[in-house]
Chains A and B, each alone.
Chain A
Amino acid sequence: MNNNLQSEIINDLTRRKKVSREYLRSLSLSEKIAQLVALQEKYYQMLLVREQNGGRPIPERWRKWHKARYENLM
């Protein structure tokens, strides 16, 4: 890969990252909380898949999170 192409790719990724972060920062507080909830769900699923495939077990804190979210909703 020549230097110009590499530099273009880096610039493009940097620009995309900036756009994405600006969008996230512009969300309302309620939307940010909803995004956080979605992130938590995705992160837990990732930990679960890792455990199910013989990787490290789900950390205790995240087990407690899952229990709080799904077993104790009042």
Chain B
Amino acid sequence: MNSANFEKVIAVLEDMQNGNIIKKYAIGGAFAAVLHNEPISTVDLDIFFLLTEKSDSPILSLTAVYDYAKTRGFSFDHEFISIYGWLVQFVEAGHNDLWKEAIETADRLKIENFDVPVIGREHLIAMWLLAGRAKDFQKISMFWEADFLNTDKLFDILERHNLLLKWNEEKWRFISE
């Protein structure tokens, strides 16, 4: 297993996008943290995506993705699809304005032969803050410590998505004064 297999996963995602299975996608979660910052252990690869057609049902929204996986011979188990040795979790983002914006404005990072869409650092922070689990606060802390954030951009995102109050309430968990 090496990063070459990861390229195959990206090729699959691009194929899904080109085939209108998904409209747009971006890597999020801990894997995005690895790409922006430093390697940390994570079990899966989170793919946030937008559907080609709007769906109100989270089950229906994943049907096209699982049907595609079947045709390609990828096995799946509940929330995960196994693609070339990687556990991939698809998260439909259309119902959440912050997630939607994160995909629309994703960075393009060059990995070997692909320009890979990866959710930007400041949007990741907002998404982790919104999720609010201990492991999310740890990742915020890592990013804050790395000192590479555009704080104007971050606070603009937090304000527009009504997360400033939560930031102020929770910041003691991830910022040491």
Contacts and interface: CB of A to CB of B under 8 A. Distances in A.
Interface string A51-71: 000000000011011011110
A64 B77 contact: yes
Interface residues of B, number: 31
Interface string B10-47: 00000000000000000000010011011111111000
Interface string B74-98: 1101001010111100000000000
B43 A30 contact: no
Interface string B41-66: 11110000000000000000000000
Interface SS of chain A: helix, strand, loop or mixed? helix
12 contacts: A21-B146, A25-B38, A29-B3, A29-B111, A32-B38, A33-B2, A36-B31, A36-B41, A61-B43, A67-B77, A68-B75, A69-B85
Contacts of B111: 29-30, 33
B145 to A, nearest CB: 8
A42 B42 CA distance: 12
A4 B73 CA distance: 62
B112 interface: yes
A21 B142 CA distance: 10
B84 to A, nearest CB: 6
A32 B39 contact: yes
Given A33-B6, A72-B75, A74-B73, 4 more contacts: A29-B109, A32-B35, A32-B38, A68-B85
A60 B42 CA distance: 14
